[in-house]
């Protein structure tokens, strides 16, 4: 029992550390995106960006979006001890989309392009099936059989009928 509490405490401290570090990285990345956007606007002779600069801007923007989704996933896991499967698959789709946006397709081999296409289709099918099945989250306590949370649920369920009976008895009187 003490071992489980110690492990949960260490796990929470690691998660808090990850949240703080991820938030710091996101702040720095947002500042970098703003700086890069400002620098690109000043260097451009017109209001339009060069294609390479635009692709870099999209890449950094998508990177920040991935970080925000990961931060949200970590926060939900901390609060509910639940991993949102849908969000994890969505982060993977965004990461692949970012890779596709920033890479130069003419520099890649045919097998690499086919592999990326298969990966995109696989993640899309997984996302569709998750949405269709209604599987939104994965309860880590059930998967890893922690038992502590399940025991608390069992105890609270056992007390509920007694409370209902007492309320019904009072209503009859």
SS (H, E, C) 97-156: HHHHHHCCHHHCCHHHHHHHHHHHHHHHHHHHHHHHHCCCEEEHHHHHCCCHHHHHHHHH
Whether the predicted pLDDT of 170 surpasses 50 = no
Which distant-in-sequence residues (6+ apart) come within 8 Å of 84 by Cβ? 73, 76, 136, 137, 138
Question: For residue range 14-59, what is the model confidence (pLDDT) as tens digits?
Answer: 989 999 999 999 999 999 999 988 887 787 777 777 777 778 888 8
CA atoms within 13 A on the CB side of 76: 18
Which distant-in-sequence residues (6+ apart) come within 8 Å of 101 by Cβ? 55, 58, 59, 62
- On whether both 36 and 71 belong to a single domain, the answer is yes
Amino acid 123: pLDDT: 93
> Which residue would you say has higher pLDDT here, 151 or 80?
80
Amino acid 23: pLDDT: 94
Residue 163 lies in a domain: yes
Whether the predicted pLDDT of 84 surpasses 50 = yes
- On whether both 33 and 81 belong to a single domain, the answer is yes
- On whether both 66 and 151 belong to a single domain, the answer is no
Residue range of the domain that includes 31: 2-135
Beta bridge partners of 82: 139
Amino acid 125: pLDDT: 94
- On whether both 51 and 9 belong to a single domain, the answer is yes
- Structure tokens, 143: 């998967």
Residue 82, classed as helix, strand or coil, is strand
- Structure tokens, 134: 């209604």
- On whether both 44 and 100 belong to a single domain, the answer is yes
Residue 140 lies in a domain: no
Average pLDDT score over residue span 146-168: 43
Residue 63 lies in a domain: yes
Question: For residue range 93-152, what is the model confidence (pLDDT) as tens digits?
Answer: 888 888 887 787 778 888 988 998 899 999 999 999 988 887 656 565 665 555 444 444
- On whether both 131 and 60 belong to a single domain, the answer is yes
- On whether both 20 and 77 belong to a single domain, the answer is yes
- On whether both 88 and 12 belong to a single domain, the answer is yes
> Which residue would you say has higher pLDDT here, 65 or 48?
65
Residue 142 lies in a domain: no
Amino acid 110: pLDDT: 85
Cα separation of 4 and 148, whole Å? 9
Residue 141 lies in a domain: no
Average pLDDT score over residue span 59-74: 87
- On whether both 103 and 163 belong to a single domain, the answer is no
- On whether both 23 and 83 belong to a single domain, the answer is yes
Question: Containing H/E element for 84?
Answer: strand 82-84
- On whether both 90 and 169 belong to a single domain, the answer is no
Whether the predicted pLDDT of 161 surpasses 50 = no
Tally of structural domains, the chain: 2
């Amino acid at each position: 029992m003490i071992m489980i509490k110690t492990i949960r405490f260490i796990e929470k401290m690691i998660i808090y550390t990850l949240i703080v570090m991820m938030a710091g990285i996101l702040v720095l990345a947002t500042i970098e995106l703003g700086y890069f956007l400002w620098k690109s606007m000043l260097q451009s002779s017109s209001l339009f960006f060069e294609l390479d600069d635009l692709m870099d801007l999209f890449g950094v923007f998508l990177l920040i979006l991935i970080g925000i989704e990961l931060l949200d996933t970590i926060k939900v896991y901390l609060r509910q001890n639940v991993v949102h499967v849908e969000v994890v698959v969505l982060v993977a789709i965004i990461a692949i989309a970012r890779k596709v946006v920033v890479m130069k397709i003419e520099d890649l081999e045919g097998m690499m392009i086919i592999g990326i296409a298969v990966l995109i289709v696989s993640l899309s099918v997984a996302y569709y099936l998750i949405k269709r099945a209604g599987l939104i989250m994965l309860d880590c306590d059930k998967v890893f059989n922690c038992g502590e949370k399940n025991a608390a649920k069992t105890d609270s369920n056992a007390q509920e009928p007694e409370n209902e009976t007492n309320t019904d008895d009072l209503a009859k009187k």
